[in-house]
Amino acid sequence: MNIFRLTGDLSHLIAIIILLQKIWHTRSCAALALALLINHEFVFLEVLWTFSIYLESVAILPQLFMVSKTGEAESITSHYLFALGSYRALYILNWIYRYVTESHYDLIAIVAGIVQTVLYCDFFYLYITRGKI
């Protein structure tokens, strides 16, 4: 395991803890949707895995849109978004490292990760320049 994957996983764990804390305090959570996706093989588990990758890359859009539009967010929400964005950015470094050292890459995960990181760019700018929004 390389340092990028380890720090990415730790960042993701922090985001999950923040999300669980938010769900616990507000007593609400978001619903899920399902669709057929481009995947490696058209088998049940592969469709679910691909769906989770694509969903993860766009599921945060409502929060990012609201933060971008208003320019502010609750402290816990901004920390959660920053942890998730950091997780994905670190995973891009992990994929680069794995490609260089192992010649392995997963195009679906890479494209979804790049899309998600690009979507976070505006939030990262606000988070850094406005002091944690």
Would the pLDDT of 29 be above 60? Answer: no
Residue 10, pLDDT score: 79
**Contact between residue 91 and residue 8 where contact means Cβ atoms under 8 Å apart:** yes
Residue 125, pLDDT score: 86
**Contact between residue 133 and residue 78 where contact means Cβ atoms under 8 Å apart:** yes
CA 66 to each of CA 7, 23, 89: distance values in angstroms, whole numbers, following the listed order? 27, 18, 21
Q: What is the pLDDT of residues 1-26, one digit of tens each?
A: 678 777 877 777 777 777 677 767 77
In sequence order, which residues have a C-beta less than 8 Å from that of residue 16 and are 6 or more positions away? none
Percent of the chain with pLDDT strictly greater than 70: 80
Would the pLDDT of 98 be above 80? Answer: yes
**Contact between residue 123 and residue 86 where contact means Cβ atoms under 8 Å apart:** no
Q: Of 48, 37, 56, 40, nearest to 105 (Cα)?
A: 40
The answer to which of 31-40, 87-96, 124-133 has the lowest mean pLDDT is 31-40
The answer to which of 1-10, 23-32, 121-130 has the lowest mean pLDDT is 23-32
Query: Distance between CA atoms of 80 and 68, rounded to whole angstroms?
Result: 15
